[in-house]
């Protein structure tokens, strides 16, 4: 079942989501929610969706970066992003550790702030300790675009949205991004935004 994706301004997006017990995770209700979130993420389309984005204040997110999302993308751009397909999975009650100090800048969007994008500095590598969709402990070590997705979704579980972390001069509508910025390398974008 498709769920409604709430937009910025909804209080659920600004609270700290509730931890789930192993028993709750295995319940029919949460398993259905995971399936519905997956379907909603595909339809949007997006590469991640956190439970607060569909009105549930729970420490749960689903992630998948399908190969078809980048099939027409420039290989140089994908290398710069360090972007590779990521299979579907859920992360529950995640604890994140940033493994690399230097931040990497890229444009991000959000299904709860539709029609906009901005550059967001993120750690290049992360470690996430969490539970999987069956309530089993899982450790994820990720880098590049996958690490960015994890940081973005885990932020949602603590009430943070990418606009809280963005480079404010880079905030723009998606149409303007596509027309003026999409084909540029990040170093060029940053220089232009800083007036250099």
pLDDT one-digit tens code per residue, 89-106: 999 999 999 997 779 999
Percent of the chain with pLDDT over 90: 85
Give the pLDDT confidence score for residue 80 in this predicted structure. Answer: 86
What would the mean pLDDT of 126-139 be, rounded to a whole number? 98
Residues catalogued as catalytic: 153
Output the pLDDT for position 74: 81
Assess whether pLDDT exceeds 80 at residue 112: yes
Q: Residue 71 has what pLDDT?
A: 85
148-160 as b/e: b if 16+ CB within 10 A: bbbbbbbbbbebb
In order of 44, 59, 62, 106, 182, the CA distances from 49 in angstroms are 10, 11, 5, 19, 23
Closest CA to 14 of 139, 142, 140, 159: 159
Residue 142 has pLDDT above 90, yes or no: yes
- Judge whether residue 196 has pLDDT over 80: no
**Residues belonging to the chain:** 196
pLDDT at 183: 86
Quick check: 68 pLDDT over 80? yes
Mean pLDDT score of the chain: 95
Enumerate the β-bridge partners of residue 92: 60, 131
- pLDDT digits 0-9 by tens, 151-170: 999 999 999 999 999 999 99
Q: Confidence band (pLDDT; 50, 70, 90) for 76? A: confident
What's the pTM? Answer: 0.95
CATH tag, 11-113+120-167: 3.90.45.10
| pLDDT the model gives residue 75 | 83
Q: Work out the number of other CB atoms within 10 angstroms of the CB of residue 104.
A: 20
Instruction: Express as a percent the part of the chain with pLDDT over 70.
Output: 99
Domain ranges in the chain are 11-113+120-167
């Amino acid at each position: 079942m498709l769920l409604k994706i709430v937009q910025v301004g909804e209080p659920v997006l600004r609270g700290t989501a509730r931890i789930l017990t192993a028993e709750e995770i295995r319940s029919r209700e949460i398993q259905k929610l995971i399936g519905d979130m997956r379907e909603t993420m595909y339809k949007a389309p997006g590469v991640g969706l956190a439970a607060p984005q569909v009105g549930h204040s729970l420490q749960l997110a689903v992630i998948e970066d399908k190969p078809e999302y980048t099939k027409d993308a420039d290989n140089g751009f994908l290398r710069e992003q360090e972007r590779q397909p990521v299979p579907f999975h859920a992360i529950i009650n995640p604890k994140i550790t940033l493994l690399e100090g230097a931040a990497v800048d890229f444009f991000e969007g959000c299904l709860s702030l539709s029609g906009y994008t901005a550059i967001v500095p993120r750690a290049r590598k992360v470690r996430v300790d969490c539970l999987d969709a069956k309530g089993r402990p899982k450790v994820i070590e990720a880098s590049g675009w996958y690490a960015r997705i994890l940081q973005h979704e885990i932020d949602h579980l603590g009430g943070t949205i990418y606009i809280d972390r963005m480079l404010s001069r880079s905030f723009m509508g998606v149409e303007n991004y596509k027309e003026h910025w999409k084909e540029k390398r990040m170093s060029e974008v940053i220089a232009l935004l800083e007036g250099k």
